[in-house]
Amino acid sequence: MSKGKRVLVTGAAGYIGSGVCRRLLSAGFDVIGMDSLMYGATGLLPLLVTPRFTFVRLDIREYALLREQLNQIRPFAVVHLAAIVGDPACKKMPEVARQTNLAATKALFGAASESDTSRFIFASTCSNYGLSDSTALLSEDNALNPLSLYAETKVEAEHWLIENAATLETYILRFGTAHGLSARMRFDLTVNEFARAIAMDTPFDVYDSETWRPYCHVNDFAEVICGICSDTTVRTGANVFNVGSDEENYRKIDLINAIAQATSRTARFSDTGNGADRRNYRVSFARIVEELKFMPRYPVAYSARQISEALSLGLLPSHEAHYANV
Ligand SMILES: NC(=O)c1ccc[n+]([C@@H]2O[C@H](COP(=O)([O-])OP(=O)(O)OC[C@H]3O[C@@H](n4cnc5c(N)ncnc54)[C@H](O)[C@@H]3O)[C@@H](O)[C@H]2O)c1
């Protein structure tokens, strides 16, 4: 089914994108990775040695060039991961964030529609739920409550895609907070940050320790995207899915305990009380289980052990600038 089918992945050099490309290649797709390389190209190196992988270095805000590329590539599916990711990065470059996360998303979708693309897969975020009553699990039908520019741009992009999805089978995937090892590693994500500190016996601060979030492994995101690209079922219009699992909703305090337990270590942390980030949400993943038969396979404990092992083997040198988006 996948042999010879072309998939365009934007943000291919990123933390999630590099694994998505690898998974699509292993399923037999021809993959065209596109990225402006804001954080370097280490994520691409394992891909460049693969024959069915092609790289296009492009800033997706170059709309004319983007349209030209889409016209040439004529992909079966577009997986749109390129973005200014996270509250701190969006705060640092608000205009670039609006252009990339919203305006360029519209331009890419338009160019994809014109180039006979069949599927458009958009990476959104559970951050869109913002602040909620922590006792209830939030479904895709709950109201969104973005608390940051990052989430605002994702919510606006979602709304626009839903309005325009009549022209193209569209998937809006609201990812939980990602974790796990990647060729472009990030330690500015909660699980990875805590796992590294605990593995290295470094003291760390925790704010809003009682707040809930869902977490999901990068390999699981790659799996769900590959599943959608491979699926023979056509689901017209906009399809919105939370991506993660009910069991992987954690309060930060429980996350720390889970990581310490999985690695048989002690966490040395200070609870600093309430911080500026008020996000608090527990999410239901019933829809993706029911409709796509998708269940994540890699829990937080798996990442904790892998990160701990990679550090003890000296596989992750401490070039801090490479490992964060700010
Ligand atoms: N990491 C998470 O926890 C998480 C959670 C929910 C949703 N997401 C979404 O998943 C996607 C990927 O996230 P990530 O963690 O891999 O982020 P990342 O920052 O590691 O990767 C983003 C990639 O996009 C590229 N990029 C940025 N602006 C670009 C532009 N104008 N043109 C071309 N390329 C550009 C960057 O160079 C980078 O390689 C994003 O859309 C993000 O919003 C991530």
- pLDDT tens digit sequence for 105-136: 999 999 999 998 999 999 999 999 998 776 78
Q: Indicate whether 184 belongs to any domain.
A: no
Q: Indicate whether 286 belongs to any domain.
A: no
The residues that bridge with 114 in the sheet, in sequence order, are none
Query: Does the C-beta of 13 come closer than 6 Å to ligand 1?
Result: yes
Same structural domain for residues 150 and 235? yes
Predicted confidence at residue 14, as pLDDT, reads: 98
Region of poorest pLDDT, from 105-114, 200-209, 219-228: 200-209
Q: Per-residue pLDDT for 294 more than 80?
A: yes
Same structural domain for residues 54 and 128? yes
Same structural domain for residues 200 and 259? yes
- How many domains does the structure of the chain reveal? 2
Q: Indicate whether 318 belongs to any domain.
A: yes
Q: Indicate whether 291 belongs to any domain.
A: no
Question: Residue 68 and residue 81: Cα distance in Å, rounded?
Answer: 19
Q: Per-residue pLDDT for 277 more than 90?
A: no
Q: Per-residue pLDDT for 35 more than 80?
A: yes
Q: Is 253 helix (H, G, I), strand (E, B) or coil?
A: helix
Q: Per-residue pLDDT for 69 more than 80?
A: yes
Distance from the CA of 227 to the center of ligand 1, in angstroms? Answer: 20
Sheet holding 249-251, edge to edge: 177-179, 212-217, 249-251
Residue 129 CB-density burial (10 A; 0-12 exposed, 13-18 middle, 19+ buried): buried
Distance from the CA of 127 to the center of ligand 1, in angstroms? Answer: 14
Same structural domain for residues 165 and 55? yes
Domain boundaries, position 259 = 190-213+248-279+299-323
Query: In this structure, what CATH number is given to the domain that contains residue 122?
Result: 3.40.50.720
Q: Indicate whether 86 belongs to any domain.
A: yes
Predicted confidence at residue 30, as pLDDT, reads: 98
Q: Is 40 helix (H, G, I), strand (E, B) or coil?
A: coil
Atom of ligand 1 minimally distant from the CA of 59: 32
Distance from the CA of 266 to the center of ligand 1, in angstroms? Answer: 32
Predicted confidence at residue 319, as pLDDT, reads: 61
Distance from the CA of 121 to the center of ligand 1, in angstroms? Answer: 14
Q: Indicate whether 294 belongs to any domain.
A: no
Summarised one tens digit per residue, pLDDT across range 228-275 is 999 999 999 999 999 999 999 999 999 999 999 999 999 999 999 887
Predicted confidence at residue 326, as pLDDT, reads: 82
Q: Per-residue pLDDT for 320 more than 90?
A: no
Query: Does the C-beta of 85 come closer than 6 Å to ligand 1?
Result: yes
Q: Per-residue pLDDT for 36 more than 80?
A: yes
Average pLDDT value over all residues in the chain: 95
Same structural domain for residues 221 and 266? no
Higher local confidence (pLDDT), 314 or 20? 20
Predicted confidence at residue 135, as pLDDT, reads: 72
Predicted confidence at residue 273, as pLDDT, reads: 85
Q: Which of 9, 16, 177 to mutate to test the pocket of ligand 1 (most atoms within 8 A of CB)?
A: 16
Same structural domain for residues 135 and 201? no
Query: Does the C-beta of 184 come closer than 6 Å to ligand 1?
Result: yes
Question: Residue 36 and residue 281: Cα distance in Å, rounded?
Answer: 32
Atom of ligand 1 minimally distant from the CA of 82: 24
Same structural domain for residues 154 and 31? yes
* Highest mean pLDDT (candidates 107-121, 127-141, 273-287, 309-323): 107-121
Q: Which of 18, 38, 109, 154 to mutate to test the pocket of ligand 1 (most atoms within 8 A of CB)?
A: 38
Distance from the CA of 74 to the center of ligand 1, in angstroms? Answer: 23
Atom of ligand 1 minimally distant from the CA of 124: 7
Q: Indicate whether 253 belongs to any domain.
A: yes
Atom of ligand 1 minimally distant from the CA of 38: 37
Predicted confidence at residue 134, as pLDDT, reads: 61
Q: What is the mean pLDDT of residues 149-165?
A: 98
Same structural domain for residues 82 and 205? no
Whether 77 and 117 have beta carbons less than 8 Å apart is answered as yes
Predicted confidence at residue 189, as pLDDT, reads: 97
Same structural domain for residues 145 and 263? no
Predicted confidence at residue 94, as pLDDT, reads: 98
Query: Does the C-beta of 175 come closer than 6 Å to ligand 1?
Result: yes
Same structural domain for residues 156 and 13? yes
Predicted confidence at residue 3, as pLDDT, reads: 74
Question: Residue 131 and residue 281: Cα distance in Å, rounded?
Answer: 6
Same structural domain for residues 150 and 124? yes
Question: Residue 234 and residue 134: Cα distance in Å, rounded?
Answer: 35
Query: Does the C-beta of 299 come closer than 6 Å to ligand 1?
Result: no
Higher local confidence (pLDDT), 35 or 133? 35
Compute, in degrees rounded to 10, the torsion defined by CA atoms 224, 289, 230, 220: 20
Q: Per-residue pLDDT for 318 more than 80?
A: no
Same structural domain for residues 206 and 241? no
